[in-house]
A and B are shown apart, each in its own frame.
Chain A
């Protein structure tokens, strides 16, 4: 495989202006497929979640999944799109064995959602508006695995295996208008855009939004033009870039590659490119021209999808708050610093903190527990913090026990471990483990007498005015009471006993 020449990113930016475009495919998490009653489930035995419709058997007909239409409208609304009152499906005709009918049922000139936008906030707070051209419904193809040969591609393979479980899974394809003016922030914007789309569909609950499973897949279009020129350059389309980091890297790489091609005086070839995570580079796929003829025509087996205005408004009313707005609102309400809030978001505990506050904890207490105790334990257990098994009620209860002076902070972490070990509620664990702070002075005085008797030299020093030596006696008492004593009270009682002013 020949290695393409690249310019440094800085040099590329000096000479050229990048124009981006994205096609993001979102797999919907409906119970059944787009056009059949077969289950829409990931990861099952190959070719088990299929019926005659998904296999394109002779005589079958498609029926549109209403929930998929609803999800598509929700996505359209979340992307600030207009929703078509009536729209049709079309057939995209091409022969390939991952498509059992040898055509894909998609939408062509009548997408369900169109003319939207998404405001993308970059890390430094800059907001960049990405215009959405359309979001349309279609069905996913089956999954091909090419056996033998090199590189897992169909060319040179000995044979190929097809899994039609994915065939017919509902997809929404979100297509941007050309994105101009991103300049050197193009790679960062690319990543932020895909992250925002993923977050939106996850927040809507319409997709599992797991990129590693292909629930969200990005095709990234890149072209360069000399600064000041209006006309777009020739683009490449890097297919199936399936992680946020890869999106950023692929855009950066393609900018560098295009710049080198243009510098050499050659035209950029309009083609699809394949992204390779290992080498962080792309290789040539198949040539793609605008003249690719898919012989689109309206799907005669389906009647138009009619989205009444009442229905659209009903769906709009069910939309959750947009993620970016929600973050802004919560950060202000909680009074966290920029850094604190970013850490909370990155740790994935924003929802949990919100729930904990709703359950009665203060914003600081909630953050202290989630960031200070739970995130670390979750990392060790290799699970999401929210899945560790700590409910907001546990935190509220723990905090109350501390505030009431029934246990101290050190004990509280032990109680948390008890909760995670399934020993019961915090109160039950305090009881069972006998962890209550000892508040009756009687047993304490006995322990103090014993500690003073054990370390007479230290007692003498304290009597002599060396009050800082008291730590050794306090430590002895705490040890004797297995940490259950209130150290402050112990100190007071020792001083009292020795007749020394504290």
Chain B
């Protein structure tokens, strides 16, 4: 029996792109291999909420036809044309349902494409389907999805992180070489860390948010999920750039990312350890892997400095005021009037308020309700200044802390998450413990700066992935790719190959239970 039905799925996006360009494989073969893998393993992983086989294969066939035709048609193809991708189900797509992981949008089809989806279509990247997430991206484990949790390919009893656990698990399980995520407080980076994948939250405004269902508008950012640093750079260049439909979108081109990932040198760069983002509260195995990465960077000629961002101790508190405040307003539109689920009250008068109430009571899960209530309270007259107002001040202080830190260091480094993947159900009844997972990732969202998480090895005590986070000043996303690629290369040399090669093989759906691999 073959270990993998098709070795194609093991390739990075960059490798697939090269093979496609060299016509060693066809886009249909590549896409079909991933669709087969999804059919094989997704019953266990539950990374996908919707699989888009027909359209994905049709796009792949278009790419193959263009390549076969040669000439201008072939030359105009984007470098990633024919490389398939999965899309977090928070991002709207024509032709596929978009649920945001919520019952309230069950069966809803968007009449328009998100800007990033338009860009994927323009690049002719086949969209494999829509990936699972915590409802409206609220959570750190995907356990808050209304459609069941996604499981971590490293250990199916553990969480894949969240909210973008579906995208991270799909990439980790070789169901897709690339995926799109969204990151409001760590929803790309923390799943990346616990599944052994790469995830990047770009600078706020580097990628259009148009068509990403808003959780917290001032914090949300779409970004790439991949297995290599270079692949994320390639994907960010596809989806980034100014969008007239998003006022907060930057005009910077961000077209130096792939080149940065290929520089291969960090000599002379200053890398800052953030005092407040490691140590107490971080799992020992996480600390060990973190220290190992520091040593490697030092070996590569980087200067390691320590910086302090004293206001980071208020970051979690500020985040849990700003985020729910924006949530309470952004989610008001889900009321059963114009789209999605509508629930009529069982008895009593049939007024618009009662229909809205019944719809929201039935359509939203507990975590979503918790945050709406928190945010509604925080914005209330008489509380606004103490809560939302103070949180915004903290946000400014954190931005200043980062400004000061970046005066001393080119990039900052920390563990991505304080622990490795925990067990499903372990923190479900303790929201505060769940929120602490994002303690190291939230500051970047509050400050609007870019952050990247890459695999940093396995923790000694549980053999589970540890993520290393890099942070750069706003608009300096290229630095993340430069340092990340160097660290990745050194780590892979140390491991003798990609970290995901050490992941246990998932049993195939077509294999009988107790199969021999």
**B211 partner residues in chain A, CB cutoff 8 A:** 59-60
In the docked arrangement, what's the CA distance between A154 and B334, Å?
A: 21
CB atoms of A297 and B329 under 8 A apart: yes
Is B388 close to A, CB under 8 A?
yes
CB atoms of B332 and A57 under 8 A apart: no
CB atoms of B247 and A297 under 8 A apart: no
- Chain A 296-327 near chain B by CB (<8 Å), digits 1 or 0: 11001111000000000000000000000000
In the docked arrangement, what's the CA distance between A55 and B337, Å?
A: 11
| A160 to chain B: closest residue by CB | B352
Secondary structure of the B side of the interface? loop
Residues from 149 to 196 in A contacting B, C-beta threshold 8 Å = 154, 160, 162
Is B335 close to A, CB under 8 A?
yes
Contact of A59 among B92, B325, B356 (CB under 8 A): B92
Contact of B247 among A101, A154, A293, A301 (CB under 8 A): A301
Is A253 close to B, CB under 8 A?
no
- Chain A 60-93 near chain B by CB (<8 Å), digits 1 or 0: 1111100000000000000000000000000101
Contact of B112 among A57, A64, A97, A103 (CB under 8 A): A57
Is B100 close to A, CB under 8 A?
yes
**A295 partner residues in chain B, CB cutoff 8 A:** 328-329, 376, 379-381, 384
With known contacts A57-B111, A58-B98, A64-B247, A301–B329 Cβ distance under 8 A: no
Is A291 close to B, CB under 8 A?
yes
CB atoms of B213 and A58 under 8 A apart: yes
With known contacts A58-B92, A59-B212, A301-B248, A95–B112 Cβ distance under 8 A: no
CB atoms of A300 and B333 under 8 A apart: no
Chain B nearest Cβ from A306, distance in angstroms:
12
CB atoms of B217 and A300 under 8 A apart: yes
**B335 partner residues in chain A, CB cutoff 8 A:** 95, 97, 102
15 A-B pairs with CB atoms under 8 Å apart are A52-B111, A56-B333, A58-B92, A59-B91, A59-B92, A59-B212, A61-B209, A63-B247, A64-B247, A95-B356, A97-B337, A100-B338, A293-B381, A295-B379, A295-B380
Is B54 close to A, CB under 8 A?
no
Count of B residues near A, CB < 8 Å? 44
Residues from 237 to 293 in A contacting B, C-beta threshold 8 Å = 291, 293
- Chain B 104-116 near chain A by CB (<8 Å), digits 1 or 0: 0100101110100
CB atoms of A91 and B212 under 8 A apart: no
**A296 partner residues in chain B, CB cutoff 8 A:** 379, 384
In the docked arrangement, what's the CA distance between A93 and B376, Å?
A: 10
CB atoms of B376 and A58 under 8 A apart: no
**A102 partner residues in chain B, CB cutoff 8 A:** 332-333, 335
**B216 partner residues in chain A, CB cutoff 8 A:** 300
Chain A nearest Cβ from B163, distance in angstroms:
16
Those 4 A-B pairs whose CB atoms lie nearest each other, nearest first: A102-B332, A300-B217, A295-B379, A300-B218
Is B257 close to A, CB under 8 A?
no
Chain A nearest Cβ from B220, distance in angstroms:
9
In the docked arrangement, what's the CA distance between A353 and B496, Å?
A: 92
Chain B nearest Cβ from A433, distance in angstroms:
61
Is B244 close to A, CB under 8 A?
yes
- Chain B 301-342 near chain A by CB (<8 Å), digits 1 or 0: 000000000000000000000000110110011110111000
Is B290 close to A, CB under 8 A?
no
Most buried by A among B247, B353, B384: B247
In the docked arrangement, what's the CA distance between A91 and B339, Å?
A: 22
Residues from 78 to 137 in A contacting B, C-beta threshold 8 Å = 91, 93, 95-97, 100-103
